[in-house]
Chain A
Amino acid sequence: MAIRDRLSGNEAVAIAMKQINPDVMGAFPITPSTEIPQYFSSYVADGLVDTEFVAVESEHSAMSTCIAAQAAGARAVTATSSCGMALMWELLYVASSYRLPITMALVNRALTGPININNDHSDSMGARDSGWIQIYSETNQEAYDNFLQAMPIGEHKDIRLPVMVCQDGFITSHAVENMDLLEDDKVRDFVGEYQPEHYLLQKDNTLAVGPYGISAYYMEFKKQQAEAMKSAKKVILEVAEAFEQVTGRKYGFFEEFMMEDAEVAVVLIGSSAGTGKAAVDALRQQGKKAGLIKIRVFRPFPMEELAEALSHVKAVAVMDKAESFSAAGGPLFAETRSALYDLPQRPNLINYVYGLGGRDITVTDFEEIYSQLDSIVETRQTGPVYRHIGQREADGAEKDVTYERYQMENNNWRWQSNGL
Chain B
Amino acid sequence: MAYNFKQEMEKPERLAGGHRLCAGCGASVAVRGVLRALEPSDRAVVTNATGCLEVSTYLYPYTAYEDSYIHSAFENAAATCGGVEAAYRVLKKKGKIEENFKFITFGGDGGTYDIGLQSLSGAMERGHDMVYVCYDNEAYMNTGIQRSSATPRFADATTTPVGRESYGKTQRKKNLTEIIAAHNVPYAAQTTFLGNFKDLHEKAHKAIYTEGACFLNVLAPCPRGWRYDMAELAELCRLAADTCVWPLYEIEEGTWKLSYEPKKKLPIEEFLKKQGRFKHMFTKGNEWMIEDAQQYVDQQWQRLLDKCK
Contacts and interface: CB of A to CB of B under 8 A. Distances in A.
B82 A65 contact: yes
Given A55-B126, A208-B58, A61 B90 contact: no
Given A50-B94, A68-B72, A201-B97, A58 B118 contact: yes
Contacts of B72: 64, 67-68, 91, 94, 98, 209-210
Interface in A29-63: 50-52, 54-58, 60-61
Nearest to A213: B60
Interface in B80-124: 80-84, 86-91, 93-94, 96-99, 101, 118-119, 121-123
Given A74-B91, A201-B91, A211 B84 contact: no
A26 interface: yes
Given A24-B87, A69-B86, A57 B94 contact: no
B63 interface: yes
A201 B89 contact: no
B287 to A, nearest CB: 44
Contacts of B79: 26, 56, 60-61, 64-65, 68
A67 B77 CA distance: 11
Nearest to A200: B68
Contacts of B13: none
Contacts of B63: 208, 211
Nearest to B66: A206
Interface-centre pick from A68, A203, A206, A211 (highest chain B CB count, 10 A) = A68
Main SS class of interface, A: mixed
A69 to B, nearest CB: 4
A228 B37 CA distance: 41
Contact of A23 (B71, B81, B82, B87): B87
Contacts of B233: none
Contact of A209 (B69, B101, B123): B69
A200 B84 CA distance: 8
A58 B76 CA distance: 11
A61 B75 CA distance: 9
A57 B84 CA distance: 16
Contacts of B89: 52
Contacts of A52: 86-87, 89-90
Nearest to A91: B73
B269 interface: no
Interface in A188-209: 200-203, 206-209
B65 interface: yes
A155 to B, nearest CB: 15
Nearest to A95: B72
B54 interface: yes
A87 to B, nearest CB: 11
Contacts of B76: 60-61, 64, 91
A408 to B, nearest CB: 44
Interface string A74-111: 10100000000000001100100010000000000000
Contacts of A58: 118-119, 122
Interface residues of A, number: 43
A127 interface: no
A372 to B, nearest CB: 46
B80 to A, nearest CB: 4
Contact of A69 (B58, B66, B83, B93): B83
A57 B118 contact: yes
Interface in B130-164: none
Contacts of B71: 209-211
A207 B68 contact: yes
A147 B126 CA distance: 29
A2 B65 CA distance: 50
Given A64-B72, A65-B86, A91-B73, A208 B126 contact: no
A355 B121 CA distance: 39
A212 interface: yes
Contacts of B121: 57
B61 interface: yes
A232 interface: no
Contacts of A74: 86-87, 90-91
B58 A72 contact: no
A71 B93 CA distance: 18
A71 B45 CA distance: 11
A378 to B, nearest CB: 55
B119 A54 contact: no
A69 B87 contact: yes
A52 B84 CA distance: 11
Contacts of A207: 68-69
A94 B76 CA distance: 12
A246 B123 CA distance: 41
B291 interface: no
A24 B65 contact: no
B71 to A, nearest CB: 4
Contacts of A126: none
A1 interface: no
Contacts of B84: 68-69, 71-72, 200-201
A23 B98 contact: no
A24 B68 contact: no
B54 A212 contact: yes
Given A64-B80, A73-B97, A207-B68, 9 more contacts: A24-B83, A57-B118, A57-B125, A64-B73, A69-B83, A73-B87, A209-B70, A212-B55, A212-B60
9 contacts: A23-B94, A26-B83, A56-B82, A64-B79, A68-B82, A68-B83, A68-B84, A71-B84, A94-B73
